[in-house]
Structures are given as structure tokens and as C-alpha cells.
Amino acid sequence: MILNIQKVSKTFPGNEVLKEVSFHIEDHEKAALVGVNGAGKSTLLKIIMGLMQPDSGMAVLSRDKKIGYLAQHQELTGDMTVFEQLLTVKRELLKLSEQMHISEKLMASLSGDSLHREMEAYARMTEEYERGGGYAYRSEVTGVLKGLGFCEEDFDKKVGTLSGGQKTRVALGRLLLTAPDIILLDEPTNHLDMNSIVWLEGYLMNYKGAVLIVSHDRYFLNRVVTKVIEIDRGESFVYSGNYDAFSRKKADMRHAEMAAYAKAQAERQHQEEVITKLKSFNREKSIKRAESHQKMLDRIDMPDKPAADEDVMELKFTPRFESGNDVLSVEGLSKSFDGISLFRDISFEIKKGEHVALIGNNGTGKSTILKILNGLLLPDTGFFKAGANVEIGYYDQEMQVLDMDKTIFEEISDDYPELTNTKIRNYLAAFLFTGESVFEYIRDLSGGERARVSLCKLMLSSANFIILDEPTNHLDINSREILESAINSYEGTLLYVSHDRYFINRTATRILDLTHRKLLNYIGNYDYYLEKKDTVEGLHFSDEASGGDNASETEAKQDWKAQKEEQARKRKLENDLAKAEKEIESLENEDKGIDASFEDPEIACDAEKCVNLSRRKEEISLRLEELYGIWEKLSEES
């Protein structure tokens, strides 16, 4: 065991955040700390690091073990460059290198015993330098920086000039290079693009020390962790396995608790009804029996009622009217900033009902495309056209659609003046804004609260084409799952930018990958994209390098067409299978109904009705036999 959390409690004014939280982390273990926003996860990390004192309990780190911590926000300043900042981790090696250089110069002027002693000292320093990775530390620093999304021209930038996200990446790189025995990471993927997240996954999976991670990135947690610690209403619960295993176990436990409680309640109600009935007879024997039943009732061990789920927002997107089949057409779009081309000559179409995810590394221009489509930026070349009856709703990760000087109530009432005060309050309550909180100013809200206001406005827009820019950024896992459910039941069309791979996997039917200033198309979710990525990129970019000969272009088009045909085939199979299952269920119910009819004395005595029912039962039997064969065949093909 490397870290032991013993009955840690912490209360802030009016809010008991942690209640005797206990768990431990083993050597080399990779664990996740999960819970809704405000559950106390970051507070617990600060207590472990000694940055905050608990009201009671303690966090005990094993003797002689080193701990490292990445907070969500970093305050790096000064004139040190990015590369120099990471080199500070290797200061002992740098000192040793200087001493070796001094020794080399000294040996040139020595002889005899003095030279011998200096050579022995130099040999010891060389051995220590090599053991510490002295001949590889520069390449190690370079590898970490590139893995975290920095290119070589970024290495010489001064840390004081970096954005908040870049500073967090520098701090993460420095932490990884220190290689402590246990690392605490608070939302480490927030400022990373997909490639960097994948790199970090591999790094942590192979890391020799232990890791405790706070993250809302479920795909990341599934790949890295083998244990999940949940903070729920201040208490801690430990589950073995990754995030999906935790989610399943928690759902099973919740179902079992509700079933046990319902069963106990039903038994209590039954006994109470029996007691009431016996007492109503008002006879000595029945009263004694009632007393006996009362004793039985008193002995029933009633389980506590399972705690209600935390308040969750209620989200449902409903288009006001249907759009035409052609929702969006983009032709030859290009955009550059300060002479740097983000993308050039990109073209794509979106059809009604598609859920399209636009992915790519940071800085490739994904959000820029969305801003162009919403009229917030002009393209350098090209044009786009919305189809017939298309009404767009836009969710902006920078929250530019919100007025910081308005209250929450004003933000809704000014945009939707037709709504009564009561209706506005009801809608805001569905997004967890109640009482006086509706009069808080937008500027005073947290990122998650602003996200909820934006989602409320988006829902009220009743748009049939929704465009989202990083919609999960400020949402906890529960809210992300609610958003996923709302999107999957949405009957309109969707285009969004996201780096949340779990979210993409659950909601996308098509992926556009913005890479090397071009768009590559994949008909499927994120797992399908991973499966086909190397093939599609190899085909596209080798074709481009050779001048894009017609044969390769034809092959690429055929591959895309084959993807669409395969998707269509699967959809038809699913529809046919559902149709067969529905007819089977209907006929089986009808067959049971006929059997019940035969038991009716009136029908049993009516020869004509019996004959007709027998004929229908035979028809049902023949059709069911046929349907069972169809279902079996479809199941094998799907």
C-alpha cells in the first residue's frame, strides 16, 4: 500500500463535503476518483497533498515515497522557456554534467596520483550520469513535450506568454518527468487534443508508479484505471474494474436496493391489510391473530429507502418542424490566420437526421468551421448553404451567446419574450436553477452553470439543425450522459466538435476528421473511425502525394460508397429484425388469447366459433414457424 485515506471528513459553511472517506491505493495501482461536480474530489486531492486540512481523519503516504500533483489550473510565470521549464526536473543531472566537464579539463593538467584520483572520480560521475539517464534526458524531454502536443517551435516560447491550457500541459510534462511513486492528476485531459490524450493513456498505462485520477473522460478512464472510487453524497464507495465496470455494478446495486425496498414495502403493506381486516371482524380469535401478525410485522427488518439520485437536469431537444433532406452543403471552404492556413478547399454535405462529429487536433480549425457556419467569421474562399426549412441552434464553447451582464432569468426572458414568468422558472428549474438563483448574473456563474444556461436556450430554440462546439467541456459525467440521451432521441440533424471520445462513440453516426488541412469522411462512430483511420489516411495521402491519379480517386470513392452501402444494409437488417420480432410478439399474444377463449363456456358450446378459432390458430402457427426462420436468419446476418 502506498497511500491510505483514513476517515477523512471536511465541511464548508453549510456543506458537508466529505464524510469519513476511506480507501487505499496499492503500489503501481491506477485508480479513478469520480463523482458529480462539487462532490469534493479536488478537495480530497488537496487534503492528500497537505494544501488543505481535514476536519478529521488523515491521508498517510508510505515512508520514503514521493508524491506528485497536477492541479486543474497552473500559474507558471517568468522568462524560462518551455524546454527549460522541463529541464528543471533534470537539475541534478545538469549539475553532474557541469562537474564532469570541469573534471575533463582538470585531467588535462594533472599527472601521477592526482590524475589517477581524478580519473576515479570521473568514472564514478560517469556511471551515476549514465544510470540517471544523462545521455538520453534531452530526447526524453522532447518526447514528453511532443506527446503533450507541443511542436519544436513551441520549445523556445516563454512560459509566461502561454495560455492557461498550455501552462497546464507544461506542468503535466514536468510532473511526468519527475516520476514520483504516486501521481495525483486533476482533470489531466482538459487541455489535450485526441492524439495527446492517447499518448498520455499509453504513458500512464506503462507507468511504474501508482496513479490517482480525477477525470470526466470516460474513454480515458476505461483505458487506464483498474479501480474506481466514487464520492457520493460525501461518502466513498470502491469498485474494481474500469469506468464501464463501475457503471454497470452501480446500476445493478441500485436496482437490487430498489427491488429489496419495494419487496419489503409490499410485505409490510400486505401484513397491515391483513391486520386491519382481522381487527374488523371484532372477534377474540381474529384479534389474537391480528396481534400475532403485528408481531410478525414488527420483526420485519425494513431496509432503508435508497437515497434519491442527485438533482439532474432535464434535457430534451424537439424540432419545431422538419427540415428538407439536404440540410447543409459546403463547397471549397478555406481559412487562414496571419498567413497560416488552417484548412483549404474543403467540401462536405450533411443530410437530415445525421449526427456528424467533427474531430481533429487542437488548432486545426474545427471551431473556426462552426463559427463560419454560424456567420461569426467569414471564409477566405468557398461558400455554404443551408437547405429548405433548416433552423439552426448553436452552442458555443466560449459562451459568446450569453450576455455576462444579464441575470439567468433575463437571458431567457429577453430571448423568449413570449414565455410567461412561470414557464421561464419551470424551464430553469429543469436545469437546476431554482429560487433566487435565477437572478444570479451570468458573469458570476461557474463554467458548468453557464453550460446549463446555454443548453436551456438551445432546447428552447426548437431548432432542427443543432451545432455544438465542445458541449461536454464543463459537464460532469451524469450531465454528459443526460446530454447523450437527449441527442440520441433527437429527431433533427446534428453537427458538433468534441474531443470526448466516449461521447462521440455514443452519439455520432458519421465522423469528419480535419487533418492536414483536409476533411476525411468515416461512416460510423469513434470505434469505426479508429478501425478505418490508417487505411483511409494511407489511401488518401499516398494518392495526394502521387498527384491524385484517377484510379486511386475511384478506389477512394468506391470505399466510401461501400461504407455507405454497408451502413444501409445494417440499418435494413435492424429494421427487418425489429419488424419480425414485433409480428412474432403480436401473433404469440393472439394465440394465447385464442387458448383463453376456448376456456370460455359460451364459446366452447358454439361450434362455428370454435372452428373459426381453430383455423385462425393454425394460420398463426404456420406464420410463426415462418417468422421464427426469418428471425433466425436475420439474427445470424446482423
Which of 178, 148, 164, 161 has the alpha carbon at shortest distance from 80?
Answer: 161
- Tell me, letter by letter, the H, E, C secondary structure of 483-511: HHHHHHCCCCEEEEECCCHHHHHHHCCEE
521 shares its domain with 494: yes
Q: Please give the radius of gyration of the chain, using alpha carbons only, rounded to the nearest integer.
A: 33
Residue 543 belongs to some domain of the structure: no
Q: What is the pLDDT of residues 435-460, one digit of tens each?
A: 999 999 999 988 888 989 999 999 99
Domain hosting residue 452, numbered range: 326-528
Cβ partners under 8 Å of residue 203, min gap 6: 147, 176
75 shares its domain with 219: yes
- The pLDDT value recorded for residue 211 is 96
Q: What is the pLDDT of residues 41-77, one digit of tens each?
A: 999 999 999 999 999 999 999 999 999 999 877 777 7
Residue 318 belongs to some domain of the structure: no
Rounded distance between C-alpha atoms, residue 142 and residue 370, angstroms: 33
Q: What is the pLDDT of residues 534-547, one digit of tens each?
A: 888 888 876 555 55
Burial label, 384 (beta-carbon count in 10 A; 0-12, 13-18, 19+): middle
Residue 37 belongs to some domain of the structure: no
Contact in structure between 483 and 448 (CB atoms under 8 Å): no
- The pLDDT value recorded for residue 546 is 53
Counting residues of the chain whose pLDDT is more than 70, the rounded percentage is 95
Grid cell 462513440 — which residue? 505
Q: Across-strand partners of 81? A: 158
Q: Would you call 149 helix, strand, or coil by DSSP?
A: coil
Tell me what the pLDDT averaged over the chain comes to.
87
199 shares its domain with 280: no
Q: What is the pLDDT of residues 119-143, one digit of tens each?
A: 989 899 889 888 888 888 888 899 9
In the predicted model, is pLDDT for residue 185 greater than 80?
yes
pTM: 0.73
Rounded distance between C-alpha atoms, residue 240 and residue 228, angstroms: 6
C-alpha distances (whole Å) from 429 to each of 95, 463, 614 are 61, 21, 58
Q: How confident is the model at residue 567 (pLDDT cuts 50, 70, 90)?
A: low
- The pLDDT value recorded for residue 490 is 94
The mean pLDDT value for 510-534 works out to 92
Residue 251 belongs to some domain of the structure: no
Q: How confident is the model at residue 286 (pLDDT cuts 50, 70, 90)?
A: confident
144 shares its domain with 230: yes
Which of 469, 454, 462 has the alpha carbon at shortest distance from 490?
Answer: 462
* β-pair type (392-395, 227-232): unpaired
In the predicted model, is pLDDT for residue 564 greater than 70?
no
202 shares its domain with 228: yes
In the predicted model, is pLDDT for residue 570 greater than 80?
no
Residue 496 belongs to some domain of the structure: yes
Answer with the residue of higher pLDDT: 548 or 306: 306
Residue type, 351: K
419 shares its domain with 454: yes
Rounded distance between C-alpha atoms, residue 417 and residue 414, angstroms: 6
Residue at a domain's end among 496, 528, 560: 528
Q: What is the pLDDT of residues 347-370, one digit of tens each?
A: 999 999 999 999 998 888 999 999
Rounded distance between C-alpha atoms, residue 526 and residue 355, angstroms: 12
- The pLDDT value recorded for residue 561 is 56
In the predicted model, is pLDDT for residue 557 greater than 70?
no
In the predicted model, is pLDDT for residue 336 greater than 70?
yes
242 shares its domain with 271: no
Contact in structure between 359 and 498 (CB atoms under 8 Å): yes
Top-confidence range, 46-50, 188-192, 264-268, 563-567: 46-50
Rounded distance between C-alpha atoms, residue 327 and residue 329, angstroms: 7
In the predicted model, is pLDDT for residue 37 greater than 50?
yes
Domain count, the chain: 4
Residue type, 307: A
- The pLDDT value recorded for residue 24 is 95
* β-pair type (326-337, 381-386): antiparallel
- The pLDDT value recorded for residue 539 is 83
CA angle 551, 552, 553 (to 5 degrees): 90
Q: How confident is the model at residue 552 (pLDDT cuts 50, 70, 90)?
A: very low
- CATH code, 357: 3.40.50.300
Answer with the residue of higher pLDDT: 33 or 308: 33
Residue 6 belongs to some domain of the structure: no
Grid cell 410478439 — which residue? 585
Cβ partners under 8 Å of residue 96, min gap 6: 125, 128, 129, 132, 134
- The pLDDT value recorded for residue 545 is 54
The mean pLDDT value for 5-14 works out to 93
- The pLDDT value recorded for residue 231 is 94
Residue 509 belongs to some domain of the structure: yes
Q: How confident is the model at residue 549 (pLDDT cuts 50, 70, 90)?
A: very low
C-alpha distances (whole Å) from 279 to each of 285, 292, 294, 297, 612 are 10, 12, 11, 15, 52
Counting residues of the chain whose pLDDT is more than 90, the rounded percentage is 49
Cβ partners under 8 Å of residue 257, min gap 6: 303, 306
Residue 54 C-alpha cell reads as 481535514
- The pLDDT value recorded for residue 584 is 87
Which of 327, 334, 383 has the alpha carbon at shortest distance from 519?
Answer: 334
C-alpha distances (whole Å) from 20 to each of 2, 5, 25, 50, 58 are 19, 9, 17, 17, 10
Residue type, 354: E
369 shares its domain with 419: yes
In the predicted model, is pLDDT for residue 402 greater than 50?
yes
363 shares its domain with 509: yes
Cβ partners under 8 Å of residue 70, min gap 6: 168, 171, 172, 175, 183, 184, 185, 186, 188
Cα-Cα-Cα-Cα torsion 381, 370, 457, 487, nearest 10 degrees, comes to: 130
Q: How confident is the model at residue 205 (pLDDT cuts 50, 70, 90)?
A: very high
Rounded distance between C-alpha atoms, residue 121 and residue 628, angstroms: 85
Q: How far is CA 503 from the centre of its chain?
A: 5
146 shares its domain with 282: no
383 shares its domain with 420: yes
